[in-house]
Structure 1
Amino acid sequence: MATTPSGDTAQVRAVQFVQTSRRTAMLILMSSAGTMKTRVFHCDFDLTNDILRVFFRVFNGKLAGKNVSDITPAFLQGVGVSLGEMYVLMGAPLRALLEVARDTMGTEVLLAGQMNLLFYPELEHGGARRVMDFLERREDVANLLRQKPGQVSFLIGREMGRPELDKSALGVARYQVDGHDAGALAVLGPVRMDYPRVASVLQYMAGQVGQHLTVLMRDE
C-alpha cells in the first residue's frame, strides 16, 4: 500500500496554464509537497497567448507561497473583488483553481497484491473478504497510515482498532519530500510476517521514494 503526497500543509509553488482548444485551457497547480494537479476549464471567449499570460501573472502574483489550505471560496471571492473589471475574464479559472486546491489537499491510496490475502490460513472463513472490504474504504486506510515519521511503525491485530484486521499486522514507513512528511508506504499481512525483513524493505523504499520525488520537484 502507498499514499500519494498530501497537500494538507503544502504551499503553492506555481500555477501554469496550457491552452487545449480555442476556448479551453488546463490549469496546473504545483505544490511544495511535490504534487501536480490539473483541471480543464472553459471560457465564453476565445483564449489568446496574451490572455493566458495575464492569467499566469495574476494567479502566481496572488498565490505563490500561499498555503493551499487557504484557497477557499471566501479567499477567491476576495481575489475576484480585487480584480475589478478583470474578474469577467477570471471566473472560470478561479473555479478550476478551487477544485485543484481541493484535489491537492486530498490523499490517494494505492493498493496492490490484495489477492495474496486469500492464501493466508489465518484469514479463511471470510476473513480475507472482510480485510479487502476494509481496504476499499480508502479514507479509513489513509487514516491508518498516518503514523509518526521516522522509524517503521508496526500495528499488530487489535492495535489497529479494526475488528476485521484482528488477525493481521501492518508495517508503515513515512516518506519525506524536500524534508517534509509527505506520504506512506505500507505492508499488510498476517501476524506471523517477517518483521525485520518488512521493516528493512519499507525503510529502504521510503528513502528511495522520498529522494526521487524531491529530485523531480526541484527539477520542475
Structure 2
Amino acid sequence: MEESAAFSATAALLSDASRAAMLLALLDGKAYTANELARAADITPQTASFHLDKMSKAGLLVLLRQGRYRYFRLAGPDVARTLESILSLQHAPLPRQIVSSCPSRLREARTCFDHIAGALGVRIYRAITSRGWTTHAGAQFAITAAAADFLGELGIPRDLLPVKSTPCLDWSEREFHFAGDFGRLLLQAMLSQRWVLGGKSRQLTMTEAGQRRLAAWGI
C-alpha cells in the first residue's frame, strides 16, 4: 500500500500543468533558477518555488547551490526517461524558452575565477568524466592517471596525478565544468601550450592548434 500511495502522489505531481511545464523545461539536462522556471511556466516565482519544493521532496528534482543562487535540475536519467515516455503517449505544449543572459563573446570560453568556463569548459568536463578518468569521493573527485595521455599533450606530468577537482555549475551553460586544483592546472596548461589565449573581461579564445588537438580527442 505504501508503494501504491507513493506512486499515486508522484503521478499527481505530474498532472499539474505548471509543474509539467517546469519539468519539460528541465529536459534539456541543464539547471535553472526558480525565477527562470517560473517564466518558462508563466507563473509567479513564489508559486514556482512552492511547486519546486514539492517536486524536490518527491525525488524528481535536485537542488544545487552556487554562491547565493539556487538551481534545480532533474534528479537523474530515470526521471528524464519517465517524462519522455509520457510525452510519447501525449503531446505536450513546449514551455517558454529559457534564454541565457551571458554575452555571446563570453559564452564559448571564459575564465571563472581560476578555471575554464563556458561551452569549452563543459565539453572538457563531459569528455573526461564520460571516459571514466575520474574517481569520486563525495562531492569531490580526482582526475586519475587514466587521463595521462590527454594531459601529457598539455605538458601536465603523470606524477601530478591524481589531482583533486570539484564540479562548478556553469553560469551560461547550466552544466558542470572543472574547478579546484585540476581546474587551475588545466587553465594554466592550456594557456601555456597556447590552446587558448586570454583576453579582456575574462574572455578566452581558442587557437587553431587548440581546436585541432581537442577535436582529435573528441572534445
Q: TM-score, normalised by structure 2?
A: 0.29
Higher strand share: 1
Q: Whose RCO is larger (CA < 8 A, sep 6+)?
A: 1
Select the structure of larger CA radius of gyration.
1
Q: TM-score, normalised by structure 1?
A: 0.29
